[in-house]
């Protein structure tokens, strides 16, 4: 029997669905026309404009500082939360589960306003710090649930075996837990990073003067801005992301698998 062609076509369709928009955006970033549709010639002028635009760069810097800090903090706290949730089944942990779960279902606008009210009441000055704190708040939950998923398949006897062989907790964490849970933690961290870079609603409310992030800036461009500059910026972002992925794959291939 001839193998079915359906999987091949499905794969192609999915790939097209995922990557065509990116291709279109890349092409548009070199299009001299400000409005999509017609091709008016090749240009680098949007890239030139991008490099002159001070506000976009400060927003980009803010976005990266927030995303990296938030990822670092929420990955640690989220992974610890997942471990505790997995390991202990007391009533306190049931409450803990609920508290961790809540930010996933609370609407962004509610969270943004309530965090802002919270900061204002405690007289905390709004700035990048408050944005990072807010992002950590919702990223913890995502990290925790991704790591928790990985823990479902985790065999606790591995830890017991290590203990039998005389390993202390430090060694167990670095030699057993981290290697096994690593992919889950990494996935959680990447999710946290993406969510942080993406977030508009919460950020808008908790950002102080001088700490606008890229999404806040882009949304505001709806009124007067030219999105072509944003196309150019996105292409640069994408290039960096792809480069990081390719490089990391290159390195991981040279290393023995655990």
Task: Tell me which residues touch other proteins (CB under 8 A).
Answer: 33-38, 40, 52-55, 62, 65-66, 68-69, 72-73, 113, 116-117, 120-121, 125-130, 132, 174, 204-205, 207-212, 216-226
Distance CA 68, CA 190 (A): 10
Question: Is the Cβ of residue 71 or residue 85 nearer to other proteins in the bound state?
Answer: 71
Do 102 and 148 touch, CB atoms closer than 8 A? no
Question: Is the Cβ of residue 29 or residue 130 nearer to other proteins in the bound state?
Answer: 130
Query: Considering the complex, what minimum distance in angstroms separates the CB of residue 181 from other proteins?
Result: 14
| Runs of H (alpha helix) within the chain | 6-28, 45-52, 54-87, 91-105, 108-121, 128-152, 157-164, 169-172, 178-198, 201-206, 214-224, 227-253
Query: Considering the complex, what minimum distance in angstroms separates the CB of residue 131 from other proteins?
Result: 8
Query: Considering the complex, what minimum distance in angstroms separates the CB of residue 53 from other proteins?
Result: 8
Query: Considering the complex, what minimum distance in angstroms separates the CB of residue 242 from other proteins?
Result: 23
Cβ neighbours around 134 below 10 Å, total: 25
Question: Is the Cβ of residue 22 or residue 120 nearer to other proteins in the bound state?
Answer: 120
Query: Considering the complex, what minimum distance in angstroms separates the CB of residue 159 from other proteins?
Result: 19
Question: Is the Cβ of residue 68 or residue 84 nearer to other proteins in the bound state?
Answer: 68
Question: Is the Cβ of residue 64 or residue 97 nearer to other proteins in the bound state?
Answer: 64
| Residues facing residue 31 across a β-bridge | 42
- Which residues are CB-neighbours of 115 under 8 A, at least 6 positions away? 130, 134, 137, 202, 205, 206
Query: Considering the complex, what minimum distance in angstroms separates the CB of residue 71 from other proteins?
Result: 9
Question: Is the Cβ of residue 103 or residue 127 nearer to other proteins in the bound state?
Answer: 127
Cβ neighbours around 116 below 10 Å, total: 18
Distance CA 235, CA 221 (A): 18
Distance CA 185, CA 183 (A): 5
């Amino acid at each position: 029997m001839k193998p079915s062609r359906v999987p091949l076509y499905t794969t192609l369709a999915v790939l097209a669905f995922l990557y065509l928009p990116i291709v279109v955006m890349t092409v548009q970033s070199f299009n001299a026309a400000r409005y999509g549709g017609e091709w008016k010639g090749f240009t680098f002028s949007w890239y030139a404009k991008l490099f002159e635009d001070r506000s976009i760069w400060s927003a980009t810097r803010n976005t990266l500082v927030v995303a990296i800090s938030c990822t670092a903090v929420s990955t640690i706290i989220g992974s610890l939360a997942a471990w505790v949730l997995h390991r202990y089944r007391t009533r306190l942990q049931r409450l803990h589960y609920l508290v961790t779960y809540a930010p996933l279902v609370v609407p962004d606008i509610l969270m943004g306003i309530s965090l802002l009210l919270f900061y204002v009441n405690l007289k905390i000055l709004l700035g990048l710090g408050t944005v990072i704190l807010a992002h950590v708040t919702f990223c913890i939950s995502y990290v925790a649930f991704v790591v928790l998923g990985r823990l479902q398949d985790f065999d606790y006897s591995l830890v017991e075996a290590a203990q039998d062989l005389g390993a202390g907790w430090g060694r167990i964490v670095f030699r057993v837990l981290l290697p096994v849970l690593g992919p889950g933690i990494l996935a959680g961290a990447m999710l946290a990073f993406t969510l942080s870079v993406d977030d508009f609603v919460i950020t808008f409310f908790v950002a102080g003067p001088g700490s606008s992030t890229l999404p806040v800036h882009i949304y505001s461009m709806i009124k007067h801005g030219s999105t072509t500059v944003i196309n150019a910026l996105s292409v640069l972002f994408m290039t960096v992301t792809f480069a990081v992925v390719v490089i990391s794959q290159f390195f991981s291939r040279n290393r023995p698998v655990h």
